[in-house]
Structure 1
Amino acid sequence: MAHYRLETSWHPVEGSFGRLTFTLFNLSAEPLSGFSLAYTSETRVADEHVCNGGDLKRRLAHFHEFLPHDGLSVPPGGHWRFTVEGLTREPKHATAGVKSAYLTFGDGRHVAVAFGDLMLEGRDDGVAPPLLPPGRVEEPYSLLPWPLSLGLKAGNLPNVLYPAAKTQPDAIKALCLVVELYQRLYPANNVPFSLSTVKGGRAIRFVTESSIAAFAYELRFTAHEIVLSSADAAGRQYGLISLAQLLHGARAEPEIFKFPNFGAIADQPRYDWRGCHLDVSRQFYPVADVTRLIDILAWNKLNIFHWHLTDDEAWRLEIKAYPALAEIGARRGPDEVLVPQLGDGAEPRFGHYTQDDVRRIVAHAASLHVEVVPEIDIPGHSTATLLSLPQLVDGQEAPDSYRSVQGYPNNALNPAVEFTYEFLGKVFDEMVTLFPSEYLHIGGDEVARGSWLASPLCKALMERENLAGTAELQSYFLKRIKVMLSERGRKLAGWNEVSHGGGVDRDGTLLMAWEKPAVGIELAQEGYDVVMTPGQAYYLDMAQAEAWAEPGAAWAGYAPPEHTYAYEAEGELPEAVQEKMRGIQACIWTENFVSRAYFNRLVFPRLAAVAEAAWTRLERKDWNRFAAIVRMWPVL
């Protein structure tokens, strides 16, 4: 049992964002004195606040440290209570409270503090509705995403599927890859495929058919064999995954799902870009978790893994030219350069991906026809970078001259510091050897208003280049970055704010519209290729219901799985610019994912809902069918 426990509650107050009450219980056998209390929370205390019973000693973004009044001693079994009014926003859910806590004593010791959810006072907390209905199927086949066309007749369930005689080695290898994928996702289940002929099974005959579209496949079922036709390896894999899904459902829920004996499936993806993003800066995910997520993407026929490798909270990629990025920028803790954030407690937390790790992950993804698109977030969201490499800072710029929306001071790479470009050039040089992807994502989001305006170097740059304000400085910076990427054979991808201040050359640029759906329309009309990933539908960290007890973020409202499933990004775009829409993407931001249970509760089944929206045309979608099938789908 913990020696100390922190309970927190929030009470609404008219005319403000409410009042927080903190109660620290001393469960030890000794009096508690001479300490400070540190905690991390997305509900941040504002500069202008009133604290009764204690004092704010230090705050940096989500990190807070409070002191009791002088002379306080908490006896065994006693408590210390203080309140704070003056917050940067109103909490909406129980997960908006404390994410980690610890005490620091005068001798430098840090001791963990247990804590619970943020309690709601003085208001009804609402009731969270069921997120999935029981589901109902008109056609008894477990396929997700649902195919373009299907005409099948159910029959006997084969024991297993196996390659027909004289199958080519490349098709055998493809089948082996999918059976291994299935074994990783469902290790307790019988495999769907065998490489050997099995009595009671059914043969798969592979046909290469050049008239079939790229990434498409066709399946024809007879009593004796299944013919899988495709023009390329990706289409063949998608066909094999569909066969594995059909067999999986018929075995798992035989009273609902069947395996076809006769008929055909013709299928191809709706969009080229069917993506899922993962933020590994706020929370670090080891290689095994990343590869499992990629397995889940492949099972759902998603083909892009957007890997968000850097942010204010950490830099996670080994760069041999600058080892400090991993040595300093990937560590957070009470005595580290980067203070605790978002779940870090008394013990330091660290983690980064070596270049060998990256090569393994990229190769694993490629074997499953998933492209890894890496992101280093610049020029904003760069606190970890700047603290790791102080030579990137304009030393004449006043500290805390601007703050990001998350509360980080002076967190953007300076466009007027020439070392910025030398640094990024070396980073890009190493990244292009690791990631063969067409695009390199450079972020470009949430650069704080007023960034760099107190920098003498930037003032001189603005005068020299006739630039006005932060947005035009960012455009100047990103134009140089785009040239650097082009010189290395890569195209620029970024968030929608890349378009600000004049943006960059539209040719070879892909922007992700995240703030709201209307932004995607504006970008397409400006001539950018667009991936739609609006927070209101496709951000999988958003709470799934309005109720207080439902976990997740709140800035974009809430998105139940049915809303995520039904949302049609294409429907927002005028017909004249629909060709600029490359596809859609789910985003997994990890501020709220301090446990595996929260990850799985928030990401699934919404990730599969996005996958079906990316693959399946509107007229083929069916929420009740999806709900019946997705219950059998894997989680992290």
Structure 2
Amino acid sequence: MNTLNIKLTTLFLFLLIRTVNAQINIIPRPMEVSVSDGFFKLNNKTKIIFNQASENNALFLSAILQKGFQKKIKFKEKGNGITLILNPKLENEIGREGYLLSSTTNNIIIQGATNTGLFYGIQSFRQLLPSDFETNNYSNKTVSIPVLEIKDKPRFKWRAFMLDESRHFKGANPVKKLLDQMALLKMNVFHWHLTDDQGWRIEIKKYPNLTNIGSYRKDTQLSRKSPERVGEPHQGFYTQEQIKEIIEYANERHITIIPEIEMPGHATAAIASYPWLGVLGTTTDVSVEFGKMDDSFNVANPKVHTFLKDVLKEVFDLFPSDIVHIGGDEVRFETWENSKEIQDKIKEEGLASPVDLQLFFTNKISKFIEENNHRMMGWNEILGEKIHEWDKDNNMEVKVKLSKTAIIHFWKGSLELVNKAVTNGHQVVNSLHSMTYLDYNYKSIPLSKAYSFDPIPEGLDSKYNEQILGLGCQMWSEWIPTVKQMENQIYPRIAAYAEVGWTQKENKNYDSFIKSLIQLEKRWEQLGINYHKSFK
């Protein structure tokens, strides 16, 4: 065979493989897929083979198959069927979240170094099933699974979705529905924004007014910069028992919940509950308006520090995650400039500015968090940099250095700020607002723009790549009061962010993503999810 024929044959085989692989509609796109001739015939008699170490995954898989086949799936110790293998030796090859999925005409084998890896292998297997499998009757049908081999692992270890429930409370069932879709898409962090100016949503037993008063507001601003109001109150919060139930639900789906308890700003709901917490001394109502409020926790008052530590202790006891997000964004320093108590504290501690005082306070909170075997995370204002236009006339001098153990949640600013964070030893989660905010409309962030996001900023020295933990996409809810509106903002963009976080950069392909998304949207239709129906 001459050189030209060899090249043509190679090209033909490459295109053939690409064409076949395009039929494997898995989101996020796996690292390696090879497809061969033939099919595994899946039916209601197919058995699940597992050992005790992978029992929870076997039960999860059984529940999926039972939905479609409407019959309890049987287990056995060996033989043909769907075999789940926990193989710790695979960790060097595919990491703790990677998996191997192979199918022949006789069996399907899913392997992982950990149960998390096995779980993600099951999620890929789910997407090989018909889109309506889990919602329709397949009791007398056979499902054909192509003979294939998949080797897969994530690009980033932090693949987060954030839900703001302070502004509009959604409740346990919508949260669980979101967790289900996160699991299918291999997202592993649910960032839960539970406190802000417009509502306190988490029960703290030592301070019952936080929910007795702080979870209720009299009305709600109707639109931006408008005096118009909705005309009815808004309220809601989670008891600690309800939160424990949701945490367990997330754990079963290998999702870590990171709670956000805002401090020192975005504190109006807490201050309305206990007015001595504030700087102004005039805050008595939970805010019915959105935006940046003038009041904040009075960090010059030792009683406020005690309050915050008491709150954090209950949060530590409630959430198994070793990370707590403290917010730290959008403090209105004009209020601190005009407060004698705050100014006296700045002088007493030998600080340079209100910004310096915020860093001083943040480090104290970080130290307390670390003493309780946790780690602090906050929006990138905790670095003390000027990122807001309203700060141009404020004294922003900073002497204090932020604790290096703090995780920086980057949402606004330049590459220079990311560089400063990583060169100072910080780990970073990239949630640049212009690329990841789900409350932004589809004109601002179309699906293609969401898909194009890279958590590692262009121009960052590659030696710092490991310090970029991954990404978060944020569902802020000021103007998103209903679950239906929320779903329209989230879907399908959440699938794009899932692929950004998981799929190796060189394997990303927007056209292939769109083809796979068609299958995923059919699944959402079956589940009644109100996804946005335009790719534009």
TM exceeding 0.5: yes
Q: Distance in 1 between matches of 2:355 and 2:70?
A: 54
1:423 and 2:307 matched: yes
- The code of the aligned residue for 1:230 comes to G
Q: Give the equivalent residue in structure 1 for 2:438.
A: 540
Q: 1:137 to 1:508 in 2, by over 3 A?
A: farther
CA RMSD of aligned residues (A): 2.9
Residue of 167, 175, 199 corresponding to 2:50: 167
1:529 and 2:427 matched: yes
1:413 and 2:297 matched: yes
Residue of 378, 381, 398 corresponding to 1:494: 378
- The code of the aligned residue for 1:173 comes to N
Q: How far is 1:341 from its partner?
A: 6.7
- The code of the aligned residue for 1:156 comes to F
**How do 1:242-321 residues align onto structure 2 when only pairs under 5 Å count?**
242-249=124-131, 260-321=145-206
Q: Distance in 2 between matches of 1:182 and 1:566?
A: 35
Q: Give the equivalent residue in structure 1 for 2:140.
A: none
**How do 1:152-163 residues align onto structure 2 when only pairs under 5 Å count?**
152-153=35-36, 155-156=38-39, 158-160=41-43
Q: How far is 1:192 from its partner?
A: 10
Provide the TM-score with structure 1 as the length reference.
Answer: 0.69
Q: Give the equivalent residue in structure 2 for 1:352.
A: 237
Residues matched between the structures, number: 469
Contact preservation (8 Å) 1:163, 1:197: no
Residue of 106, 109, 113 corresponding to 1:227: 109
1 or 2, which has the higher strand percentage?
A: 1
Q: How far is 1:320 from its partner?
A: 0.6
1:603 and 2:501 matched: no
Q: Give the equivalent residue in structure 2 for 1:561.
A: 447
SS at match of 1:451: helix
Q: Distance in 2 between matches of 1:524 and 1:181?
A: 42
Residue of 263, 267, 273 corresponding to 1:382: 267
Deviation track 1:354-384 (CA, whole Å, cap 9, x = no partner) reads 0001100111101111000000111111111
**How do 1:390-405 residues align onto structure 2 when only pairs under 5 Å count?**
390-394=275-279
Deviation track 1:537-576 (CA, whole Å, cap 9, x = no partner) reads 111111111xxxxxxxxxxxx1110111012222522212
- The code of the aligned residue for 2:256 comes to E
Q: Which runs of 5+ in 2 are unaligned?
A: 1-18, 135-142, 385-397, 531-536
Q: Percent identity?
A: 28
Contact preservation (8 Å) 1:192, 1:244: no
SS at match of 1:541: coil
Residue of 64, 81, 93 corresponding to 1:203: 81
Q: How far is 1:632 from its partner?
A: 3.4
Q: Distance in 2 between matches of 1:388 and 1:137?
A: 60
Q: Give the equivalent residue in structure 2 for 1:507.
A: 404
Residue of 340, 359, 364 corresponding to 1:456: 340
**How do 1:48-197 residues align onto structure 2 when only pairs under 5 Å count?**
139-153=22-36, 155-156=38-39, 158-160=41-43, 164=47, 167-178=50-61, 180=63, 190=68, 195-196=73-74
**How do 1:7-18 residues align onto structure 2 when only pairs under 5 Å count?**
none
SS at match of 1:592: coil
Q: 1:391 to 1:504 in 2, by over 3 A?
A: same
Q: Which runs of 5+ in 1 are unaligned?
A: 1-135, 184-188, 253-257, 546-557
1 or 2, which has the higher helix percentage?
A: 2
Provide the TM-score with structure 2 as the length reference.
Answer: 0.81
Residue of 87, 95, 98 corresponding to 1:216: 98
Q: How far is 1:456 from its partner?
A: 1.6
Q: 1:181 to 1:311 in 2, by over 3 A?
A: farther
Q: How far is 1:298 from its partner?
A: 0.6
Instruction: Please say which structure displays the higher CA radius of gyration.
Output: 1
Contact preservation (8 Å) 1:379, 1:447: yes
Q: 1:451 to 1:575 in 2, by over 3 A?
A: farther
SS at match of 2:34: strand
Q: 1:279 to 1:527 in 2, by over 3 A?
A: same
